A and B are shown apart, each in its own frame.
Chain A
Amino acid sequence: MLLIHASLMACSQHSDPDTLTFWTVGREGEAITQLLPQFERENPAIHVTLQQLPLSAAHQKLLTAFAGDSTPDMTQLGNTWLPELVAVGALEPLQTRVANSKTIQPNDYFPSIWSTNVYEGALYGVPWYVDTRLLFYRNDLLKAAGFDAPPRDWAQWRRMLAALSHPEQGQYGILLPTNEYDQLTSLALQQPDPLLRDGGRYGNFESAGFKRALTFYVDTFRLHQAPPITNVEAGNPWVEFGRGVYSFYFSGPWNISEFRTRLPASAEDTWNTAPLPGPDGPGAAIAGGSSLVVFRRAKHKDAAWKLIEYLSRPDVQGRFYDLLGDMPPRRSSWNEASLRSDTKAQAFRDQLEHVKPTPPVPEWEQIVNQMQLVAAQAVAGDLTIDQATAEIDRRADRILEKRRWMLDRAQHASSAPP
C-alpha cells in the first residue's frame, strides 16, 4: 500500500506545479505520513512529496545534493549539521518569515534549542523536535541498594554505580557504548570551559573542565562500572536493562517508547527517568534535536513555510509525540494531554530548561568523532587523560586550520582600507 502511494507520488512529481519536496531523516519519515493528510486538506493547492533518508546516509546525501544542485525544497536537519549547510550558503534565512508569523512564537521555544538555529545573528531553521541525553534508571534496583532517589551530582552517581556494579556476575552500573559520542559530550558540556576557544579557532580539550569530564568517563570503565563495548556488541540494551544487567542507561527521549514496547507491561514501575547529574548538583545536558529548514534554491518557499508553520502548531506537535515520542521544542506543546500526563517525560521537560548547545562550527561533527575515537583509546588504556586531551586538541586544531584561515582573511578584508 505504501509502495503504491510512494509510486503515485513519484509520478505526480513533475506534473504538479505545487509539489513540495520534503526530505526526512530516520524514523520521522514514517510518522509524518500520518500528519500530512490533514495539511493537504487544509492546503489543497499544495502536494507534499516525501523522501525518507536513513540517518547513516543523510549527512552525505545532503552535501552531495548541494554539490550537485539537486536540493529539495525543505528538509529535516539535525541542529549539529546546520552550521555546515549555513556555511556553504545552502539555507534560506527565515528571520522575516518568523517575525510575520502568527503561529511561531520564538519566546515559546526553549531558548537553548532556539539558539542552535541562529548562526552569526541570522535564523536558518525552526526547531521541530528536541533531543537531549539523560538518565534512565531502575528505581527498584536503586532502592534495593539503599538509594531512594536518582543521583543529583557526580559523587552520588559514582557511589550508586559502585554499589550496583558486580562485573563478576556480568552486572554493570551503566552502559556507555564506546563508539557513541553523546555521553561524553554531555558530561563535557556541563563544565564551565567551552569546548573550542578563540571563537572556534582552536580546540579547548586540555582545559581543566574537559579533563574532569574525561576522567569521570574513563574512570567509569576503569572501575568496571561500565563494560568497554561498542553499541554493535551491546546488541539489545533494552532487554538487558530490563534484566538488570545495567541499572542506568544514558540515552535520549525516543527510548521511553522503546522501553515500553520491548519490556513487559509489568516492568513499567521498575524504571524511570531523571535529569542528568552534574559535577556539583543538577547539570546541563546537550541541546540536540532537529529543525525544519528551507533551501535557498527551493522553488516553493511559501509552500514550505506553510508546512513548517503547520508542523509547529502545538496540537500537531502533540500528535507527533503520540506517534513517535519525539519531544516538542515549545513549552505550550507540552501542555497537550498525553505529554502532561506522562511522568517519564517530565524529567526531559525539566532538563530542557537546562541544555547547552555544542559549538556552532561546521567542523563540529568531525571534531566530535575524533574526540570519541581518542576517548575510546583512553578507555582501552592506551592513552592517559593528559595524552588523550592533547591528542584531541591536536586533531581539532588540524581540522580547524581552514576555518582559521578563512576567519583571518575575512578580518583582513574588513580592516583593510577600501
Chain B
Amino acid sequence: MNGQRAAWVFLAPAAIVLGVFFLLPVIGAFVLSLTDYDLYALADIHNLRFVALGNYWALLQRPLFWSALGHTVYFVAVGVPLSMLVSLGTALLLHSPMARFKPFFRTALFAPVVTTVVAVAVVWRYLFNTKYGLINYALEWTGIHPVDWLGDPHWAMPAIILFAIWKNFGYNMIILLAGLQAIPTELYEAARIDGASAWRQFRHITLPMLAPTLLMVGILTVSGYFQLFAEPYVITEGGPLQSTVSVLYLMYDEGFTWWSLGSASAIAFLLFLTMFVVTACMLRMERREAKV
C-alpha cells in the first residue's frame, strides 16, 4: 500500500505535465471538433452550435478531404519505402569496411536533415524549374523530354516526394548505421567460414538482426510522412489544381486561413485515427512474422 502511494508520488510530476499539456488539449480539441467553432463564435460565443458528429460527416462527404487523404497515402506509400531504401543503402555503404573518409560522408549525408525546410525548398524550387532548372537540364542532356515538375498535377507529388526523401533520409541512416554497428562481427566471420556470399550474409544476418530497428524506423517514418505539410506549403502551396494538398495542409487551411476550428479539429482526429490504424497494422504484421 505504502509502496503504491510512493509510486504515485514519483509518477505525479510526469503525469501532471502530460495531463495538462497533452491530455487536456486533446480532450479540448475533441470537444471543439463536435462544435462549429468559427470566426462568428470567436466574436460571440452564442454563435456556437453543438453539431455532434456533423463535422466528421461533412468531411467524409467532401471530395477534397478524400483527395487530400489520397495524396497523403500516395506520399506515404511511395515515400516511406523509397526513403528507407535510400537510408539503408547509404548506411550499408558507410558501414562497409571499404569506405573511406567515413566521418566526412556521414556528416555530408546527414546535412540535409539539419537544414531549414524553407531555405532548401527555395533552392529546390529552382532545381525543379521547367525552363531553367538543373534537373531538367540533366534530363535533357540524357535525352529525356523536360518535365513540368511543379506545374503538372501528375508530377508535382513525385517532385515533393523526391524533395522529402532528400531532406529526411539522413536521420534514418544514422539510426540504421548504429543498428548495423551493433551486429556482432562473429556472426559474419562464421558465415564467411561457411562460405556464405555477401548477399546471403545480408539476407540471413544483417536483415534479421536489423529487423527491430527497421520496424521502429518504419513506424517513425510512416507517422512522420503522414504529417506531410511543410513541403507542399513552401514549394507548391497545395497546387497545381490542389494536387499536393495533404490532410494536414487541409487542416491548416480550414483552421488558420478560414478559422473553421471545429472542422479543422475533426480533420486532425480523422488523421490521428488513420495513423493509429496503420501503425497498429504494422506492429501486428511484425508480431505475426516473429511468430512464424
Residues of A within 8 A of B (CB): 59-60, 63-64, 66-67, 84, 87-90, 179, 229-230, 232-233, 235, 362, 366, 373, 376-377, 380, 398, 402, 405-406
Q: Which residue from chain A places its CB closest to the CB of B259 in the assembled complex?
A: A63
CB < 8 Å neighbour of A60 from B43, B151, B257? B257
> Considering the chains assembled together, what is the distance between the CA atoms of A302 and B258 in angstroms?
32
CB of B223 within 8 Å of the partner chain: no
Please give the distance in Å from B244's CB to the nearest CB on chain A.
12
Please give the distance in Å from B23's CB to the nearest CB on chain A.
24
> Considering the chains assembled together, what is the distance between the CA atoms of A399 and B171 in angstroms?
42
> Considering the chains assembled together, what is the distance between the CA atoms of A66 and B40 in angstroms?
12
The residues of A that contact B42 with a CB separation of less than 8 Å are 66-67, 88
- Bitwise, B226-259 to A at CB < 8 A (1) or not (0) is 0000000000000111100000000000001111
Inter-subunit contact B241/A376 (CB<8 Å): yes
> Considering the chains assembled together, what is the distance between the CA atoms of A63 and B256 in angstroms?
9
The residues of B that contact A59 with a CB separation of less than 8 Å are 257
Q: Is the interface of A mostly helix, strand, loop or mixed?
A: helix
Task: Return 10 A-B CB contacts under 8 Å, by A number.
Answer: A60-B256, A90-B43, A233-B130, A233-B150, A362-B39, A380-B241, A402-B36, A402-B38, A406-B40, A406-B47
The residues of B that contact A63 with a CB separation of less than 8 Å are 39, 259
Q: Which residue from chain B places its CB closest to the CB of A373 in the assembled complex?
A: B242
Inter-subunit contact B47/A366 (CB<8 Å): no
Q: Is the interface of B mostly helix, strand, loop or mixed?
A: loop
Q: Which residue from chain A places its CB closest to the CB of B44 in the assembled complex?
A: A89
The residues of B that contact A90 with a CB separation of less than 8 Å are 43
Q: Which residue from chain B places its CB closest to the CB of A229 in the assembled complex?
A: B151
Inter-subunit contact A230/B239 (CB<8 Å): yes
Inter-subunit contact A179/B239 (CB<8 Å): yes
Number of interface residues of B (CB under 8 A): 23
The residues of A that contact B47 with a CB separation of less than 8 Å are 402, 406
Q: Which residue from chain B places its CB closest to the CB of A179 in the assembled complex?
A: B239
- CB contacts between A and B, total, < 8 Å: 48
Please give the distance in Å from B63's CB to the nearest CB on chain A.
10
The residues of B that contact A366 with a CB separation of less than 8 Å are 258
Inter-subunit contact B150/A232 (CB<8 Å): yes
> Considering the chains assembled together, what is the distance between the CA atoms of A380 and B58 in angstroms?
27
Please give the distance in Å from B252's CB to the nearest CB on chain A.
10
CB < 8 Å neighbour of A88 from B40, B131, B150, B256? B40
Q: Which 7 A-B pairs have the closest CB atoms?
A: A88-B43, A233-B151, A89-B43, A366-B258, A67-B42, A60-B256, A88-B39
CB of B49 within 8 Å of the partner chain: yes
Inter-subunit contact B239/A232 (CB<8 Å): yes
Which chain B residues (126-161) contact chain A, with CB distance < 8 Å? 130-131, 148, 150-151
Please give the distance in Å from B245's CB to the nearest CB on chain A.
10
Inter-subunit contact B242/A87 (CB<8 Å): no
Q: Which residue from chain A places its CB closest to the CB of B153 in the assembled complex?
A: A380
CB < 8 Å neighbour of B151 from A84, A232, A402? A232
Please give the distance in Å from A160's CB to the nearest CB on chain B.
27
The residues of B that contact A398 with a CB separation of less than 8 Å are 58
Inter-subunit contact A87/B241 (CB<8 Å): no
> Considering the chains assembled together, what is the distance between the CA atoms of A59 and B257 in angstroms?
8
Inter-subunit contact A405/B49 (CB<8 Å): yes
> Considering the chains assembled together, what is the distance between the CA atoms of A405 and B54 in angstroms?
15
Q: Which residue from chain A places its CB closest to the CB of B150 in the assembled complex?
A: A232
The residues of B that contact A87 with a CB separation of less than 8 Å are 39-40, 43
The residues of B that contact A362 with a CB separation of less than 8 Å are 39
Inter-subunit contact A230/B151 (CB<8 Å): yes
- Bitwise, B206-230 to A at CB < 8 A (1) or not (0) is 0000000000000000000000000
The residues of A that contact B38 with a CB separation of less than 8 Å are 402
> Considering the chains assembled together, what is the distance between the CA atoms of A376 and B44 in angstroms?
36
Inter-subunit contact B39/A84 (CB<8 Å): yes
> Considering the chains assembled together, what is the distance between the CA atoms of A60 and B233 in angstroms?
15
Please give the distance in Å from A300's CB to the nearest CB on chain B.
23
> Considering the chains assembled together, what is the distance between the CA atoms of A67 and B257 in angstroms?
13
Please give the distance in Å from B149's CB to the nearest CB on chain A.
11
Q: Which residue from chain B places its CB closest to the CB of A90 in the assembled complex?
A: B43
The residues of B that contact A380 with a CB separation of less than 8 Å are 241
The residues of A that contact B39 with a CB separation of less than 8 Å are 63, 84, 87-88, 362
The residues of A that contact B151 with a CB separation of less than 8 Å are 229-230, 232-233
> Considering the chains assembled together, what is the distance between the CA atoms of A66 and B255 in angstroms?
15
> Considering the chains assembled together, what is the distance between the CA atoms of A70 and B222 in angstroms?
39
Please give the distance in Å from A373's CB to the nearest CB on chain B.
7
The residues of A that contact B36 with a CB separation of less than 8 Å are 402
> Considering the chains assembled together, what is the distance between the CA atoms of A151 and B225 in angstroms?
52
